[in-house]
Structure 1
Amino acid sequence: MKTSTPPRILLTAGPTREHIDPVRFLSNGSSGRMGYALAGEAAARGCAVELVSGPVSLPAPEGVTVHRVVSAADMLAACEPLFGACDVFIAVAAVSDYRPRVFAPEKMKKNGGVLTLEFEPTVDILKTLAARKHPGQTVVGFAAETRDVEAYARRKLETKNLDWIVANDVSRPGIGMDAADNAVLLLSRAGARLAFGPAPKQAVAGFILDHVLC
């Protein structure tokens, strides 16, 4: 991906929340640190950065436009009008794979019995947007796995029409979700295989951008 002007980057970061009722939701342990580190590093390199963020407690990186969302549907709705104009899309967010089939408009009360909930798939943001990729755009995904990390990442790289994928093993203590450090395996559709870390997420962000922006 080469441009004569600083690239326009669209990123997603953090978790999503899929509400069961007004006070309860399905989510995950993503802190948003990796996505925010990438956004901050890209802005420091002169890129125009739009960051679509799920609920996190992090301050907005300097020089980055942040769009705050809650659910997977919200995240896709925020990304859609921005995707066509970006040069690079980096999907870092840990998007919930499922949402409750029915939302209870009032807080569900404990009745002492077994509670059964039905769930349905959420929209696949990365696959949906990657299918719209135009010539010259670069699409980067993340694969947070607990086993067979490289195999799952390679499958995702192919099935979702990605240019790069960043794989990491979130079962390892001290790296990944809600940690200050990360260790990643960067794979490309062209055949590159590059490992980095463990290292602070800011350094990991620099490593990723060194390759996907070249």
Structure 2
Amino acid sequence: MNESRRVLIGIGGGIAAYKVCQVISTLFQAGVQVRVILTQAAQEFITPLTISTLSRHQAYTDRLFWQPIHNRPVHIELGEWADLFVIAPLTANTLGKLAHGLADNLLTNTVLASHCPVLLAPAMNTDMWEQQAVQRNWQHLLSDSRYHTVGPDAGRLACDRVGAGRLAEPSEILAAIYSVLYTGGKRDLLGKQVLISTGGTREHLDPVRFIGNPSTGKMGLALAQAAKHRGAKVVLVHAPLTEPIPPDIQAISVVSAAEMRQVMLSYFSAADLVIMAAAVADVKPADHTSEKLPKAQLPTALALEPVPDILAELGQRKQSHQQLIGFAAQTGDIVKPALEKLNVKNLDAIAANPIDQPNVGFASDTNQAIFINKQGRQESVQPCSKLELAHALLNFIGS
């Protein structure tokens, strides 16, 4: 996904500018071509030398505005070069200029001279962010489909104010960059309600012992991010996770399969698309105690009973306007059991994962799959990041 991609980054003046250094470095190491514009104010926080070292290319400043590239104006050449323009941190000053089509420096001139998607990552003091004028400019800018957003997050700011206005974390910015690069900026899920489950459920014998599985929830988190980046309103129902949940995702925490079933059913009717990526237990201990069992009292044989089949129940309740997608983590032949699951549970599509392959499946950062829909069409996706696999699945079910 990164090969030959070209990302132009505009850095505004704010203490959060230091976070963008990690974004630049990570993109370069991933094989993305990176060019960076520094505003005059940004140079009070990070230097052109730092940026040129991380990007392996000179940093562009207003001082270079009139030095042509390939005998063409800098802002024209950079604007046409970029596949994606990222502005981080986006200050209140630059936001106001963009909202009114003003161009008085290299960064804003380049925005007007380009046609690629623009990803905005605001960062400013909470009181500044909440000003009516700033919010009016923000909403006006978002009415243009060219602009995409990540953040701002909430928390303690550099000024010690607690509230909205923190620059999104580098991992969030990177995920949004990869999403927009993958989709080209399309929002094919705008106005859609997407319900996703993830993580491995736990069926407790007592407060400290349970039947579980190795799922970390990374695949479902990637699906939630991908759907959110494509315009959907996302509800994520998750069992215990090892990864942080992006701040813009509505997340509901559960532990057991019974709890997940209750929440999934309560949100199901409002959903246009439902993806069951959770690794839900098949059985649970027949007996459960609220106090820890002494080791000597542990049963030598554990009586088990089945848990409700959430996916099958959703398949029975599914309406004609809804799409229901399942996952099948398999070893050996992954297609045959996935096809059976697809048909028996009335799914629209299924993603079969070969969990016996290296660096694939539970706890990994990469994944691969064979997608199968109810018409019998199959698509094989080779090992890639889980975010890329998530986008590939959304493309598959939307085609």
Matched, 1:52 2:233: no
Matched, 1:144 2:332: no
For the residues of structure 2 that align with 1:113 and 1:194, how far apart are their CA atoms?
Answer: 47
For the residues of structure 2 that align with 1:194 and 1:113, how far apart are their CA atoms?
Answer: 47
For the residues of structure 2 that align with 1:58 and 1:4, how far apart are their CA atoms?
Answer: 25
Matched, 1:127 2:283: no
Partner of 1:200: 385
Q: TM-score, normalised by structure 1?
A: 0.95
Contact 1:40 1:62 in 2 (8 A): no
For the residues of structure 2 that align with 1:133 and 1:114, how far apart are their CA atoms?
Answer: 40
Q: 1:88 and 1:109, CA in 2 relative to 1: closer, same or farther beyond 3 A?
A: same
Contact 1:182 1:201 in 2 (8 A): yes
Partner of 2:251: 66
Residues 147-195 of structure 1, C-alpha deviation per residue, up to 9 Å, x if partnerless? 2210000000000000000001111121001111101000000121000
Q: Following TM superposition, by how much is the alpha carbon of 1:113 offset from its aligned partner in structure 2, in angstroms?
A: 8.3
Of the three residues 167, 184, 191, the one matched with 2:376 is 191
Q: Following TM superposition, by how much is the alpha carbon of 1:111 offset from its aligned partner in structure 2, in angstroms?
A: 2.1
Richer in helix (by share) = 2
Partner of 1:107: 292
Contact 2:203 2:210 in 1 (8 A): yes
Q: Compare CA radii of gyration and give the structure with the larger one.
A: 2
Q: Following TM superposition, by how much is the alpha carbon of 1:116 offset from its aligned partner in structure 2, in angstroms?
A: 1.3
Q: TM-score, normalised by structure 2?
A: 0.52
Q: 1:20 and 1:190, CA in 2 relative to 1: closer, same or farther beyond 3 A?
A: same
Residues 12-61 of structure 1, C-alpha deviation per residue, up to 9 Å, x if partnerless? 00000000001111100001000000001100111010000000122112
Of the three residues 345, 360, 370, the one matched with 1:175 is 360
Q: 1:114 and 1:57, CA in 2 relative to 1: closer, same or farther beyond 3 A?
A: closer
For the residues of structure 2 that align with 1:29 and 1:196, how far apart are their CA atoms?
Answer: 22
Aligned to 2:317, the other structure's residue is in SS state coil
Q: Following TM superposition, by how much is the alpha carbon of 1:62 offset from its aligned partner in structure 2, in angstroms?
A: 4.0
Of the three residues 132, 144, 165, the one matched with 2:350 is 165
Per chain length, whose mean CA-contact separation is higher, i.e. which structure has more relative contact order (CA < 8 Å, sep 6+)?
Answer: 1
Of the three residues 78, 82, 88, the one matched with 2:273 is 88
Percent same amino acid at aligned positions? 38
Of the three residues 194, 210, 222, the one matched with 1:25 is 210
For structure 2, the 5+ residue unaligned runs are 1-187
For structure 1, the 5+ residue unaligned runs are none
Q: Following TM superposition, by how much is the alpha carbon of 1:5 offset from its aligned partner in structure 2, in angstroms?
A: 5.1
RMSD: 1.6
Of the three residues 42, 47, 61, the one matched with 2:227 is 42
Amino acid at match of 1:188: N
For the residues of structure 1 that align with 2:238 and 2:342, how far apart are their CA atoms?
Answer: 23
Q: Which runs of 4+ in 1 moved over 3 A?
A: none
Residues 121-142 of structure 1, C-alpha deviation per residue, up to 9 Å, x if partnerless? 1110100111100011000000
For the residues of structure 1 that align with 2:244 and 2:258, how far apart are their CA atoms?
Answer: 23
